[in-house]
Amino acid sequence: MSKRFDVIVLGVGAMGASACYHLASRGAAVLGLEQFDIPNDQGSAHGQSRAFRMCYFEHPDYVPLLRRSLELWHQLEEITERKLLHMTGGIWFGPADCELIAGSRDAAVTHDLTHEWIEYDDAAKRYPQFTIPDGYVGFYEPQAGLLLPERIISACAEHAAKRGAVLRANEAVVKWEADSKSVTIHTTQSEYEADHLIVCAGPWSSRVLDEIGVELSVTRQIAIWVQPPEAELFALGTLPIWAIDRPAGGMYYGFPILSDKAGFKLSVHCPGPSTDPDAIDHVAQDDEMNELREMLGRFIPGADGPLLEASVCMYTNTPDANFIIDHHPQHANVTIACGFSGHGFKFASVIGEALADLALDGRTELPIGFLGVQRFAD
Ligand SMILES: Cc1cc2nc3c(=O)[nH]c(=O)nc-3n(C[C@H](O)[C@H](O)[C@H](O)COP(=O)(O)OP(=O)(O)OC[C@H]3O[C@@H](n4cnc5c(N)ncnc54)[C@H](O)[C@@H]3O)c2cc1C
């Protein structure tokens, strides 16, 4: 194997796998280095499903990226001949002025996106699976659905390898250094050189990027799967992806049942307790599931069946919960993509494209200016 590459990608999780796919598709000589398996259940991209939404309550500026992202997801399905995305639509419930509902409407109006505002009585009739608190409204968007993260990472990695990319699993980067001509990467097994380095280290980003000057907090997140007594009411094809405002902050959300063997998955979107990615306990404790079990009994009683599975995952949060995608502040030949703050997966296709642009062309036409690292210095 040659030890000199056009681009080395550090971390082959959600963003790194997509970057490898885009780079290799453009004919670049790529090396992807991953400390665990590809894919793995140690970082931020495991657990069978990830929500895709277009009416982006977090910030309307994400919508153009989401439009391109959806195009690229469909393209990836065609090229790899795999089912990677189910467009189920999405139903959100909450008080009219909460962030989830008001923010989704704001994005829909700003970008002229198809959506439906559903008053309380109609929402209760249309979605009998949910016991909606009095005064809540429903917001439905058709351009929502669920992505299959492990399958996507495998599809990107396998396609990249077919196009000549070298992907090394179970080989951790321990150090890198850059000068104006080249980047040198030291791993647990070898040393490599490249014209350009892309760092997509997820929860380990601070370990490999300590000089970017932004505090990234890593938090522990729990998801559970239960067996509803009447599973057909919650099946793929019947139920859209869903979310319910959480008065204490963030939202509860979940997915339809994907197959006979899978359960009904739900979680909380809100940063959990801080954790250390190298010392995290990957087993969910009973008390960490109490809030989800309680919420289930209150809002979705028909799904309140036995626990099938629980998973522990990590968010990597920036101070403003928006991503960082930019050139490294000190090295023009290093690009960084981190701080996806629990909502990045749906963008992985377009972020891979942006990273390939930045590494190969030094710039991108994609509207990622608002995600620059400089905003924290300002
Ligand atoms: C419970 C949960 C639910 C989520 N739900 C959604 C959702 O519904 N919709 C959505 O859009 N997003 C969601 N997200 C967020 C999304 O999954 C993340 O934003 C995304 O996975 C981040 O991708 P990443 O590439 O930065 O990190 P990861 O996918 O974790 O990849 C980073 C990779 O880098 C590797 N790595 C790190 N350091 C090194 C090193 N030194 N050497 C070699 N390899 C290294 C890691 O092992 C890892 O594989 C969720 C996240 C969690 C935890």
- 168-208 pLDDT tens trace: 999 999 999 999 999 999 999 999 999 999 999 999 999 99
- 326-350 pLDDT tens trace: 999 999 999 999 999 999 999 999 9
Give start and end residues of each alpha helix (H) in 282-343.
286-299
Q: What is the pLDDT of residue 156?
A: 98
Is the minimum distance from the CB of 44 to ligand 1 under 6 angstroms? yes
State which H helix or E strand residue 223 sits in.
Answer: strand 217-226
Q: How many domains does the chain have?
A: 2
- 204: CA distance to ligand 1 center in Å? 10
Give this prediction's pTM: 0.98
State how far the Cα of 163 lies from the Cα of 25, in Å rounded to an integer: 6
Is the minimum distance from the CB of 345 to ligand 1 under 6 angstroms? yes
Predicted confidence (pLDDT) at residue 84 exceeds the cutoff of 90:
yes
Pocket test for ligand 1, best of 266, 276, 345, 355 (most atoms within 8 A of CB): 345
Is the minimum distance from the CB of 199 to ligand 1 under 6 angstroms? no
Predicted confidence (pLDDT) at residue 1 exceeds the cutoff of 90:
no
Which residues have a Cβ under 8 Å from the Cβ of 291 and sit 6 or more positions away?
A: 268
Question: 3-state class of 374 per DSSP?
Answer: helix
- 25-81 pLDDT tens trace: 999 999 999 999 999 999 999 999 999 999 999 999 999 999 999 999 999 999 999
Q: Is 161 a domain residue?
A: yes
Q: Do 334 and 307 belong to one domain?
A: no
**Could you tell me the CA-to-CA distances from 285 to 46, 165, 281, 309, 310 in Å, in that order?**
18, 40, 9, 12, 9
Strands 30-33 vs 90-94: parallel, antiparallel or unpaired: unpaired
State how far the Cα of 280 lies from the Cα of 274, in Å rounded to an integer: 10
Q: Is 39 a domain residue?
A: yes
Average confidence (pLDDT) over 297-317: 97
- 150: CA distance to ligand 1 center in Å? 11
State how far the Cα of 361 lies from the Cα of 344, in Å rounded to an integer: 23
| Radius of gyration of the chain, Cα coordinates, nearest whole angstrom | 21
Confidence class for position 211, pLDDT limits 50, 70, 90: confident
Q: Do 237 and 197 belong to one domain?
A: no
Q: What is the pLDDT of residue 2?
A: 67
Q: Is 201 a domain residue?
A: yes
Q: What is the pLDDT of residue 290?
A: 96
For residue 370, what is the DSSP state? G
Q: Do 225 and 275 belong to one domain?
A: yes
Read off the CATH number of the domain in which 8 is found: 3.50.50.60
Average confidence (pLDDT) over 279-297: 96
Confidence class for position 261, pLDDT limits 50, 70, 90: confident
Q: Do 313 and 330 belong to one domain?
A: no
State how far the Cα of 98 lies from the Cα of 105, in Å rounded to an integer: 11
Read off the CATH number of the domain in which 225 is found: 3.30.9.10
Q: Output the average pLDDT for the chain.
A: 97
Pocket test for ligand 1, best of 44, 53, 168, 204 (most atoms within 8 A of CB): 44
Q: Do 238 and 209 belong to one domain?
A: no
Question: Angle CA(315)–CA(320)–CA(323) in degrees, nearest 5?
Answer: 60
For residue 199, what is the DSSP state? E
Q: Which domain holds residue 242?
A: 89-146+217-317
Predicted confidence (pLDDT) at residue 210 exceeds the cutoff of 80:
no
Q: Is 134 a domain residue?
A: yes
Give start and end residues of each alpha helix (H) in the chain.
14-25, 63-80, 99-110, 120-126, 149-162, 205-208, 286-299, 348-361, 374-377
- 202: CA distance to ligand 1 center in Å? 5
Q: What is the pLDDT of residue 228?
A: 97
Confidence class for position 136, pLDDT limits 50, 70, 90: very high
Q: Do 176 and 222 belong to one domain?
A: no
Q: Do 28 and 142 belong to one domain?
A: no
Q: What is the pLDDT of residue 339?
A: 98
Residue ending a domain, among 265, 289, 317, is: 317
Q: Do 342 and 307 belong to one domain?
A: no
Q: What percentage of the chain exceeds 70 in pLDDT? A: 99
Residue nearest to atom 3 of ligand 1 (CA): 342
Question: 3-state class of 101 per DSSP?
Answer: helix
Confidence class for position 13, pLDDT limits 50, 70, 90: very high
Is the minimum distance from the CB of 176 to ligand 1 under 6 angstroms? no
Q: Do 140 and 254 belong to one domain?
A: yes
Q: Do 244 and 280 belong to one domain?
A: yes
Predicted confidence (pLDDT) at residue 307 exceeds the cutoff of 90:
yes
